[in-house]
Chains A and B, each alone.
Chain A
Amino acid sequence: MKCGEVLSRLDDYVDDLLAPRERQAVRTHLQTCVACRTREESLLALVKQAHDLARPVEPPSDLWPAIAGRLGDESVRRPRPSRWRRRTLPLRWLGLAAAAVVLVAGTALTTAWLVGRRTVDIRPPAGADMGAPMSASLGPEGVRLKDERRQLLAAFQARKGRLMPSTVKVVEKNLRIIDRSLGDIETALRKDPGNRDLTFLLAGTYRQELDLLRQAVQLSNDDWTGGKNEKS
């Protein structure tokens, strides 16, 4: 192999990407050619230097406050439904309903597992009151969740007339299911106030409820009328 052929393969040689026979040919040449070996050493030094650059660098300022601010926005701001999504809205709500049922089933089973019970009845109670009590065990986070939940519930109640009745029915049904689950966790927490896993589960379930409410409120803001307005 000649110098030109070796130099054209030197990057792959250093990166160990050559086939065995080709690699051996380059190696044999480098053992006898000082000029090419110098190029190889220079390349190896560069690669080593570059590798050493991969180090953590502390940001000059704390970026967390800005990130946290955007997380808040992310959780509230939802993409406006497109016309296509409006037409398929019932499917979305079916998905939401299914997700809520799965959530509550999973939450109830997890609660049972955490408190050592064998089974939990996850049927929504007839006439369940929308809005389970907020556990004091969540501390300041509980206050924030409670406040947001109160506002969203008020907004939903005020605007639900702008949603299709079938949509309102799905939302209210799922709120009742979630509240039943919250009640189970609250009950378990009263028996075992120091159970951090239950507290964690409670917070997660509240957030799921808030998410459902936010979507309902957002849709009511979009003035969904079952597509009737789109024809005009």
Chain B
Amino acid sequence: MDGLAADILESTDHDKLDESEAHEIERARCGDVEAFERLYHGHAAAVYGLCLRMSGSHAQAEELTQEAFVRAWRALGGFRGEAALGSWLHRLAVNVVLENRRSARRRSARVVSVEDPASLGKAKPESPDRTMDLERAMADLPEGARTIFILHDVEGYRHEEIAAMQGLSTGTTKAQLHRARRLLREALG
């Protein structure tokens, strides 16, 4: 069987996906915007959190989150359930942030800075002080080191994955991570 019928009947790997989510994904893949809205609401906080950590700005995080979900809508036809939707969206959002950063860098040499480092802590008032300190210290890192630190130590990507995403060697990503950790330990005392 081929085409739309195959898309529907072949379904996705239900062993790896929540049943109801798999159903919503199938519907969204066939153009059901309401199903996609439900998927959005299930994953918005995770994607927004990632965008906020990587951009350091609420305004940018909102734009990046929107862009990530618009791209997800476009690319959903290629999603076959090999990974959980959350992981797929996470990776897609990382790519959106990195592409955005590359574009911004091309437009100007201006380094992305955090609009208000303290606001990152305010997003989660229950965060302990040490977490707020770390977020503030992260905001002061050079952009390259900051990106590698977030992708590796916060988001859990491996050096090989980060290198592929960034077009760098693993030697460079390791060096940047080492630099970020050293600067952070110095900042945190």
Contact = CB atoms under 8 A, between A and B. Distances in A.
A42 B134 CA distance: 13
A35 interface: no
A200 B37 contact: no
A55 interface: yes
Contacts of A59: 44-45, 48, 61-62, 65
A19 interface: no
Contacts of B174: 11-12
Given A63-B62, A207-B31, A46 B49 contact: no
A106 B41 contact: no
A56 B62 contact: no
B52 A71 contact: no
B3 interface: yes
B124 interface: yes
B4 A204 contact: yes
A143 to B, nearest CB: 14
Given A57-B52, A57-B124, A64-B40, A103 B4 contact: yes
Report which residue of B123, B130, B154, B184 has the largest number of chain A beta carbons within 10 angstroms of its beta carbon.
B154
A60 B153 contact: no
Contacts of B69: 63, 67
Interface in B15-36: 27, 30-34, 36
A66 interface: yes
Contacts of A201: 8
B181 A53 contact: no
Contacts of A47: 153, 181
Interface in A36-65: 42-43, 46-47, 49-61, 63-64
Contact of B3 (A49, A99, A200, A203): A99
Nearest to B5: A106
A209 B115 CA distance: 46
Given A57-B45, A200-B27, A105 B2 contact: yes
Given A59-B62, A207-B31, A43 B2 contact: no
A49 B154 CA distance: 8
B44 A46 contact: no
Q: Which 5 A-B pairs have the closest CB atoms?
A: A106-B5, A56-B45, A106-B3, A57-B49, A204-B30
